[in-house]
Amino acid sequence: MQPRPAPPPQPPGPVGLLGGTFNPVHNGHLGIARDALRLFDLTAVWFIPCAIPPHKPTETLASNADRYAMLKLATQNEPRFDVLPIEFDRPGASYTLDTLRALRVRHPHTDFVFIIGADTLPDLHTWHRPLDILALVRIVTLARPGFTPDPATIQLPPPWPETLLADVRTGQLHDVASRDIRAQFAAGQPVSLVPDSVIRYVQEHNLYR
């Protein structure tokens, strides 16, 4: 059994948390992290791969070990990025609330913010105990150019719609989806918008076929 990697060192300023299946990680994920560093004045971004996503099917999900390895390859030249496989250590669905509580214990003096995309804002109310999440962490949102804030789309009690929309910033357009990349790999087509190291890993390990 492989030993778990050591936790990241405690940064001096706020740390962004970017969750997802990263199946596989692509340039859009990396671009979101870079945008968040710049727009929210973060010290670091920690990528948190999901073990068992509560809202997504798992039939095409690469193994935890493979997704972790691809994330490490994709972030190896980014000194302010790290990968935290904290959700791999828990059984059952990977709930954000459980992850945040665990991080508070591990890093009691770190100021965390949780990074989401604007398409996630209308779905926050469907997350496991969303009000408890909001009590634990500041949620910051990256929107595509042209995004129009609308508090009516956020089905949470006041003051949360206005509070969340106050933390929306416009990032760059990252028009890439993991499902499309998986389809390209499966069809043997050329793959772009993915780090070369990740493409080589997928090919060497025969993933998404």
Q: Tens of pLDDT along 25-50?
A: 999 999 999 999 999 999 999 999 99
Q: Are 193 and 27 in contact (CB under 8 A)?
A: yes
- Say whether pLDDT at 9 is over 80: no
- The identity of residue 3, as a single letter, is P
197 in Cβ contact with 29 (< 8 Å)? no
More confident of the two residues 8 and 188: 188
Instruction: Give this prediction's pTM.
Output: 0.92
Cα angle vertex 107, ends 106, 108, to 5°?
Answer: 105
For 62-68, what is the mean pLDDT?
A: 97
Please tell me the predicted confidence (pLDDT) of residue 13.
Answer: 83
What is the rounded CA–CA span in Å between residue 121 and residue 53?
Answer: 17
Backbone angles phi, psi at 10, to 5 degrees: -75, 115
Provide the CA 127 distance to its chain's centre, in angstroms: 15
Name the E strands within the chain. 15-20, 44-49, 81-83, 112-117, 138-143, 168-170
pLDDT band at 1 (very low <50, low <70, confident <90, very high): very low
Q: How confident is the model at residue 59 (pLDDT cuts 50, 70, 90)?
A: confident
Q: Which residue has the tokens 């596989």?
A: 24
In tens, the pLDDT along 104-149 reads 999 999 999 999 999 999 999 999 999 999 999 999 999 989 888 8
Contact 46, 86 (CB under 8 A): no
Task: Name the nearest CA neighbour of 206 among 185, 190, 187.
Answer: 185
- Return the domain boundaries, the chain: 15-177
Contact 46, 83 (CB under 8 A): yes
Query: Would the pLDDT of 64 be above 70?
Result: yes
Query: Under CATH, which number does the domain 15-177 receive?
Result: 3.40.50.620
Closest CA to 32 of 181, 120, 133, 143: 143
